[in-house]
Amino acid sequence: MATSTYIPLATLTLAVANSAVYFTNISQDYSDLVLMIEHKGATGSVQGLVTLNGDGGTNYKYVYIYNTGSSDGSGSETASRHFNTESGSTTVANFTKMEIFDYSATDKHKSTLAHNGRAGAIQTIVSGRYASNTAISSITVGVNSGSFAIGSTFKLFGIHGGV
């Protein structure tokens, strides 16, 4: 049985607060992508917003389940302009691991699976669909308001092999 291997494609650690991070000219040589984010807000709570190929249209559909430790729930979005991460405050970081399957395919929509969380707080699992047959060549991680704090990290991996 083949083993999946994560190949580092890019790592960005912010030296200054910034409201967006860009991964461009993504190689089409892998089966899937994995985006890993650890961020805090520079001056307040910041939610990451992930867009693919610069597409700000309503092509992002997803369902989610969450647990806060004291409550849980679920929901869905059928016409979003991005995929969301959980909010990171100035003192508590948000962690996100998002997988984008068959990202280079041009004959189907792209499936995603993400785990978002904050230490000691909310945990969310999100299953999504990017409703486009276009291969993913760029990823933008922006914010709902404010900026990502210095030291926030953004990593992109390609996955080889594995079934």
Pairing type for strands 46-52 and 83-88 reads antiparallel
d(CA 61, CA 89): 26
State the DSSP code for 148: B
Q: β-strands 46-52, 139-143: how paired? A: antiparallel
Structure token digits, residue 45: 């709570």
pTM for this predicted structure: 0.92
Question: Is the predicted pLDDT of residue 4 greater than 80, yes or no?
Answer: no
Residues 64/80, Cβ–Cβ less than 8 Å: no
Measured at the alpha carbon of residue 66, what is the angle toward residues 62 and 69, in degrees to the nearest 5?
A: 170
Distance between CA atoms of 153 and 71, rounded to whole angstroms?
Answer: 29
Helix (H, G, I), strand (E, B) or coil at 97: strand
Question: In the predicted model, is pLDDT for residue 118 greater than 90?
Answer: no
Average pLDDT over residues 53-72: 93
Using one digit for the tens of pLDDT, what is the confidence trace for 136-147? 999 999 999 999
Residue 23 banded pLDDT, cuts 50, 70, 90: very high
pLDDT in tens, 70-100: 899 999 999 999 998 888 888 888 999 999 9
pLDDT at 3 over 70: no
pLDDT at 161 exceeding the cut of 80? no
Q: What is the Cα 31 distance to its own chain's centre?
A: 17
pLDDT reported for residue 2: 59
**Among candidate residues 31, 33, 28, the one with its CA nearest the CA of residue 162:** 31
Check residue 86 and give its pLDDT: 82
pLDDT of residue 78: 92
